[in-house]
């Protein structure tokens, strides 16, 4: 079954959601930089549920039979791919030159052969390959002249 990705430019479950992938301030020079997988996109989910009716002793009668009869044990196990995330770089400054008070920026992504994928599969302690990101830099003058109206 093919999963269609859910895309948006900012999503969250609610105001103040600490697990939100959304950013409070938009990079005004390129709003397309925010278009990515939605916080609500979870590609694969496996749910296993079980229910076991506990056998009651046939020798019980009266109130003991009523108390011991009809008990069940149940459980639900759920695993999923998890929610997408956006890497950000907190600096305490204004690394992209946006002239605002937010101290975050998108890190620059390196395109070396070692960075074909941004993950280290099979390594749960260092799953994100942080060596594929660099300190963010402001767009160069070529970007500004080709994308901004005079």
pLDDT for the residue 10: 67
Do 114 and 59 share a structural domain? Answer: no
Span 55-75, average pLDDT: 85
- How many domains in the chain? 2
Do 92 and 73 share a structural domain? Answer: no
**Other beta carbons within 10 Å of 66:** 11
CB 46 within 8 A of CB 80: yes
DSSP character at residue 106: P
Would residue 92 count as lying in a domain?
Answer: yes
pTM for this structure? 0.49
Span 111-139, average pLDDT: 84
Would residue 103 count as lying in a domain?
Answer: yes
């Amino acid at each position: 079954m093919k999963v269609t990705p859910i895309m948006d430019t900012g999503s969250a479950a609610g105001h103040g959601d600490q697990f939100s992938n959304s950013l409070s301030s938009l990079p005004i020079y390129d709003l397309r930089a925010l278009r990515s997988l939605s916080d609500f996109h979870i590609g694969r989910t496996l749910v296993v549920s079980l229910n076991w009716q506990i056998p009651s002793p046939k020798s019980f009668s009266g109130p003991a039979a009523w108390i011991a009869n009809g008990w069940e044990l149940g459980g639900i196990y759920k695993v999923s791919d998890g929610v997408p995330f956006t890497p950000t770089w907190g600096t305490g400054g204004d690394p992209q030159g946006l002239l605002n008070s937010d101290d975050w920026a998108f890190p620059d992504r390196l395109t070396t052969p070692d960075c074909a994928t941004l993950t280290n599969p099979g390594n749960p302690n260092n799953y994100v390959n942080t060596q594929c990101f660099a300190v963010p830099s402001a767009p160069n003058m070529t970007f500004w002249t080709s994308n901004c109206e005079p």
